[in-house]
Amino acid sequence: MKTSDKIIQLLKKQGALTAKTLAGELDLTTMGVRQHMLALEQSGEVIFEDKKAPRGRPTRYWSLTEKSNVHFADGHEGLTLQLIDSVKTVFGDSGLEQLIEHRERESQKLYFEAMKDKKDLLSKLEVLAVLRSEEGYMATVIQEADFYWLIEDHCPICAAASHCLNFCRSELSLFQALLEDVASVSREEHIVEGARRCAYKVSPL
pTM, entire model: 0.68
Low-confidence residues of the chain: pLDDT under 70: 73-81, 159-165
Report the CATH number of the 77-204 domain.
Answer: 3.30.1380.20
- How many angstroms separate the Cα of 1 from the Cα of each of 6, 7, 8, 154? 7, 10, 11, 19
How many Å is the Cα radius of gyration of the chain?
19
The pLDDT value recorded for residue 76 is 57
Please tell me the chain's helix, strand, coil percentages from 3-state DSSP, rounded to the nearest 5: 55, 20, 25
Share of the chain above pLDDT 90, in %: 58
The pLDDT value recorded for residue 48 is 95
The pLDDT value recorded for residue 19 is 95
Report the CATH number of the 3-71 domain.
Answer: 1.10.10.10
Domain span(s) for CATH 3.30.1380.20 in the chain: 77-204
Classify 76 as helix, strand or coil: coil
Domain span(s) for CATH 1.10.10.10 in the chain: 3-71
Q: What is the pLDDT of residues 135-166, one digit of tens each?
A: 888 999 999 989 999 999 988 777 666 555 67
The pLDDT value recorded for residue 170 is 85
Query: How far is residue 190's CA from residue 149's CA, in Å, rounded to a whole number?
Result: 13
